[in-house]
Structure 1
Amino acid sequence: MTILMKIKGDLLEARKSDHPVKKNLISTLYAETAMLGKNKGNRPVEEITDEETLAVIKKFIKGAEESYQISLANNRQDKAALAQEELDILKAYLPAQLSEEFLEQFVKDFLERSPQKGKQVIGLIMKELNQHYQGQFDGRKANEIISRLI
């Protein structure tokens, strides 16, 4: 089952349970993801890949994180709680994230077998991480770990 089909099932469930935040968020997420197919060659929803769906989910997460930060800065606890609820819903669709310990070990192993040293190795490590674990790690966190270990 693709991520988009899971979203569609969750949308039906949210409509039945009458959970307004979840219903509105998932409805918007599904509609925007479905538009990808229409915008890219009028493809049916079933042909939208998990990578395309994950890109939309990450865009929504970024928006919810920004909303959360702004709400906290403006002392709007109600809006911050809403943004946090949206983040929790959205993050459930992401694949399991790699632990910080795993990322550190991956970087250490890469540095041991790599002849290159210094800042130029950052791009190589990120490239290899993306090849093997795309969507399963936070790029900022990985970059911090790499910078700390080189």
Structure 2
Amino acid sequence: MSLVKQLEQDMKSALKNKEKTKLSVIRMLRASIKKEEIDRRHALSEDDVLEVIMREIKQRKDSLSEYEKAGREELAQKEREEIEILQAYLPEQLSEEEVRALVQQVIQEVGAATKADMGRVMGAIMPRVKGKADGRLVNRLVQESLR
């Protein structure tokens, strides 16, 4: 089942079960997807929908860190709940060890040796982990490997 159809079904379910937070998050996500479709002037592919979901998660993680710095625990908790709901629509995430192994494999494939090769490594690895790993984690592991 496509992600868009899954969102539609989950929205109906949340509406019936009176799950306010889940309902608002799904509505917001569907609105973001619709806006992206309008901007691009065509229906989004599954990969495009995953990009929108990842962008929404990233925004919430940024807000979460700001709320935690400001000591606003009630708002931080709300962001955590929204992140959890959004992450349910992503494919199963790779563990840090799996990402580390993939980084080593890509470094060998592109023949990278120094930090100057970081762009080539990131360019080769990001399409492989799209939606399955956080870009910050990948970036950190590539930097550690290219010292």
Give TM-score scaled by structure 1 length.
Answer: 0.85
> Secondary structure in 1 aligned to 2:115?
coil
Task: Tell me if 1:118 matches 2:114.
Answer: yes
- AA in 1 matched with 2:84: D
**Counterpart-to-counterpart distance in 1, 2:3 and 2:131:** 13
In structure 2, the CA distance between the partners of 1:124 and 1:15, relative to structure 1 (3 Å rule), is same
Superposed CA RMSD: 1.8
- Consecutive unaligned residues of structure 2, counting only runs of 5 or more, are none
Q: Cα deviations across residues 61-115 of structure 1 (Å, max 9, x unaligned)?
A: 1221122222222222211111110010011111112211112212223334544
| Number of equivalenced pairs | 146
> Secondary structure in 1 aligned to 2:15?
helix
Q: % of aligned pairs identical?
A: 26
> Secondary structure in 2 aligned to 1:48?
coil
Structure 1 residue 49 displacement after superposition: 1.1
More off after superposition, 2-11 vs 28-37: 28-37
- AA in 1 matched with 2:98: F
**Counterpart-to-counterpart distance in 2, 1:36 and 1:71:** 27
- AA in 2 matched with 1:49: S
In structure 2, the CA distance between the partners of 1:67 and 1:133, relative to structure 1 (3 Å rule), is closer
More off after superposition, 69-78 vs 111-120: 111-120
Task: Tell me if 1:51 matches 2:50.
Answer: no
Of structures 1 and 2, the larger Rg is shown by 1
Query: Is contact 1:7–1:30 with CA below 8 Å preserved after alignment?
Result: yes
Runs of 4+ residues over 4 Å off in structure 1: none
Task: Tell me if 1:146 matches 2:139.
Answer: no
**Counterpart-to-counterpart distance in 2, 1:57 and 1:149:** 29
Give TM-score scaled by structure 2 length.
Answer: 0.87
Query: Is contact 1:2–1:49 with CA below 8 Å preserved after alignment?
Result: no
Task: Tell me if 1:74 matches 2:36.
Answer: no
In structure 2, the CA distance between the partners of 1:132 and 1:68, relative to structure 1 (3 Å rule), is closer
| 1:16 match | 16
